[in-house]
Amino acid sequence: MNYMPKDILAYVLEEKLEADFLTAIMLHKQDYSIAEIADRQLWIVEGKCFLKADSYELNMEVNDEEIVAAVKAKLYVSVFISKNSDNRQLHFFVHRYPVENKAAFDENIAEEVVQYMIYKTILALRLDTPEKVKEYCASK
């Protein structure tokens, strides 16, 4: 049977494997990790969007039109950094919640963050069967 990444994510959620999956991510299993950049700051100056995160020594302009539009619209944006072998990549996830009401939606945002991290790991490691997911989550 062919599984799509969304099917594998649904399997992880149905089997309640989120904690095991996140543990595997934190242990850099298969030389891959992804983490939310908690101290990220996004702001607009003269129509340009900037990202700063001291924990990763980031201070840069963001040029992605969708991210710039989301920041201008004052939507909450999560920022992630992933490492696959020696390749590092930034990821952005736009939530549907306004920044000023973030506290009211913290639980929803946390759930979306966990699912995003799991989904990106499924894609990066080609975890395309329940068996591969079980193996990824089991070995420590």
Side chain identity, residue 111: E
Confidence of residue 104 (pLDDT cuts 50, 70, 90): very high
pLDDT tens, residue by residue, 108-133? 999 999 999 999 999 999 999 999 99
Q: Tell me the residue range of the domain where 103 lies.
A: 5-138
Q: How far is CA 57 from CA 70, 82, 88, 126, 140, in A?
A: 23, 15, 14, 30, 30
- The model carries a pTM of 0.89
pLDDT score, position 1:
79
Residue 139 clears pLDDT 70, i.e. is over it: no
- Count CB-CB contacts under 10 A for residue 99: 14
Backbone φ/ψ region at 126: left (φ over 0), alpha (ψ -120 to 50), beta: left
Query: What is the number of domains present in the chain?
Result: 1
